[in-house]
Amino acid sequence: MLLKINTMFRLIVFLAFAVKINNAAVAILPHVETPPEFGDQKGCYVPVLKRVLEYNRPYSPTDSCVQYTCKVTNETYLYT
């Protein structure tokens, strides 16, 4: 019985670790100067999206599986 509990505990720890690794950022984009037409908006400008993302608010385009998150350090994190 104790062997089964130990095995279950190891499986739970492994799965939790695997899920945590799966949520890691795959890329960090440096700050890009915001064009004048977006000058009054606060956040990170992403040239690929041609838009400014709000701080700490995830954004996923409808045509891709990538999630962009703008941090207050003006770096944009990409997650898959």
The reply to whether 7 falls in a domain is no
Q: Please, what is the Cα angle at 50 between 37 and 72, to 5 degrees?
A: 85
Domain count, the chain: 1
pLDDT in the model for residue 17: 55
The reply to whether 29 falls in a domain is yes
Q: Which domain holds residue 53?
A: 25-80
The reply to whether 64 falls in a domain is yes
pLDDT digits (tens, 9 = 90+) for 4-63: 666 766 767 666 555 555 556 678 888 889 999 988 899 999 999 999 999 999 999 988
The reply to whether 20 falls in a domain is no
Q: Measured between alpha carbons, how far is 69 from 76 in angstroms, rounded to an integer?
A: 6
Give 65's pLDDT tier (boundaries 50, 70, 90).
confident
Query: Model-level pTM?
Result: 0.65
- Beta-sheet strands, E only, within the chain: 27-29, 44-46, 51-53, 67-70, 76-79
The reply to whether 1 falls in a domain is no
Q: Measured between alpha carbons, how far is 42 from 10 in angstroms, rounded to an integer?
A: 45
